[in-house]
Amino acid sequence: MSLSENSELVRYLLQAFVSVVGRRTSENFAMVTLDTIVKQLEPKYNFLKFIEINPSRYSDGKDAISINPEINSIRPSDLGEALNEILDRGTESLDKKTDHYVKREIKDALGSMYELINKKLELNLHVTQSEYLVDADVRRIIPGIVQIKNSEVVEPVLGVLINLLNGEFSEADVMKTMITFIKNLEGKYDFLKYIEISDSPDSDGFFVVRARPEIDDVLTITFREAMQKLIEEIGKSTHLKTQLSFIKDFKMALAPADLEKIKEMNINLDQIGEILHRRENELLFKKALDAIVGVVSRKTSKSFAVALLDTIIEKLRDGHKVLRYVVINKSRYADGIDSICILPEVNSVTSYELGKGLKEILKKTRENLGYKHTSFIEDFQKQLGDEYLAEIEKMGVNLYMIELKFI
């Protein structure tokens, strides 16, 4: 898609708005504000129906701004008029002492895209020379104005991510993992090719991480999005215990100056932390079902283990809402746990409800196995491991009481 099309220009502008307003409030507040303004102006500018803002998707760490390609048929002058009004209303929602500088910051955030957007849409982001001089005087007290080079952020971020992974994997595996994640994201963010990581240690035993100068030419908005996604994906790859403290550990491992740069670039670490915490139910449930399949399949087969689990869950589903979020592919029983999908909606369920559902699954599984598998609970504990066992016990799953029922 061409960067000169209306849809892409609008996306860049709205992302810049969210970034700038989000620094003064929160990005979630900025999303809600933007959504409200677009809806208010839609009767006046009918084509704003082609812009969809979904704050709840942003809270889930997903792309919350959707632009329908039909907006490309709208006259740029009409679109520019609407966007200028959106920006005017957006700045009015802020402290009157600082709203003057918002448009200046939006212009800065757009970087090299500003000239293209302004030429086509005629944005009202101009700042007079006297205003600029005042602006320069208050740079030290208005957050987010100082421009940080992308390369200044890459190396400290990757260095800390590597150190955090070193606690779980060998150094060689850590580097392979990091390279794999970067390669996976290159499809969407091709500029990540400018990040170089050696695949073997140097003469001093260190793996070299380097950001090529070309990465500084990447728009801050796009670069920030890529870094945030990389940190999130690395966090998701760690074990449960590490995930729950991942962002806290990440912040503590960064030098104060580097942490400040990340904040100024508006990489939202707290949002990543919330996403990792919300995945706890999904991760625990999948791990518990995997342990059940593992134990049962040892004396039967993967196909039998998953088929049994499928039958039990179907019978229990009406009484336990949480089980509606477990989807088993009947044609893939032989694939074991890979045939089971836990929908992300499970993360909205309380730990208590999840514990109740899991407890019933364990009871019914033990019941179906009968005398043939008297060590089921003990084997399940070993298969699950102490870390995950402690977490499901917090949910109220008392394995000792389940076993007592069959003695």
361 has pLDDT over 90: yes
Residue-wise pLDDT for 243-298, tens only, equals 778 898 999 988 888 998 888 887 888 878 877 776 778 888 888 999 999 999 98
CA distances to 17, 31, 118, 128, 278 from 12, in Å: 9, 14, 12, 24, 29
Phi/psi for 5 (5° steps) reads: -75, 150
Looking at residue 305, its pLDDT comes to: 92
Q: Cα torsion at 180, 182, 186, 187 (round to 10°)? A: 50
% the chain with pLDDT above 90: 14
* 144 in a structural domain: no
Q: What is residue 377's predicted lDDT score, i.e. its pLDDT?
A: 86
Tell whether 12 and 126 lie within a shared domain: yes
Average pLDDT, the chain: 80
Q: What percent of the chain has pLDDT over 70?
A: 84
* Residue 394 resides in a domain: yes
Cα separation, 360 vs 362, whole angstroms: 5
pLDDT, tens digit, 9 for 90 and up, residues 25-79: 777 778 888 888 898 898 889 999 999 988 766 544 456 788 999 999 999 889 9
The verdict on 299 and 271 lying in the same domain is: no
Question: pLDDT at position 290, please?
Answer: 92
Same-domain status, 183 and 260: yes
DSSP one-letter code for 42: T
- Residue 129 is assigned to a structural domain of this protein: yes
Task: Report which residue type is found at 236.
Answer: K
Boundary-marking domain end, from 247, 278, 309: 278
The pLDDT tens digits of the residues spanning 364-391 come to 998 888 755 668 888 999 998 887 888 8
Pair 103, 162 in one domain:
no
**Whether residue 265 is found in the same domain as residue 300:** no
Q: pLDDT tens-digit profile of 310-329? A: 999 999 998 888 898 889 99
Domain boundaries, position 158? 150-278
Cα–chain-centroid distance for residue 320?
Answer: 28
H or E element, residue 211: strand 209-211
Residues in the chain: 407
**Helix, strand, or coil (residue 52):** strand
This prediction has a pTM of 0.49
- How far is it, in rounded angstroms, from Cα 236 to Cα 241? 11
Q: For residues 360 and 207, which has the higher predicted lDDT (pLDDT)?
A: 360
Kindly state whether residue 56 falls inside one of the protein's structural domains. yes
Q: Domain tally for the chain? A: 3
Tokens, residue 360: 């019933």
312 and 203 in one domain?
Answer: no
Residues 68 and 19 in one domain: yes
- State which of 137, 170, 194 marks the end of a domain: 137
Secondary element (H or E) of residue 359 = helix 351-369
Is pLDDT at 130 greater than 60 in this prediction?
Answer: no
Query: Rounded to the nearest 10 degrees, how much is the dihedral formed by the CA atoms of 32, 33, 34, 35?
Result: 50
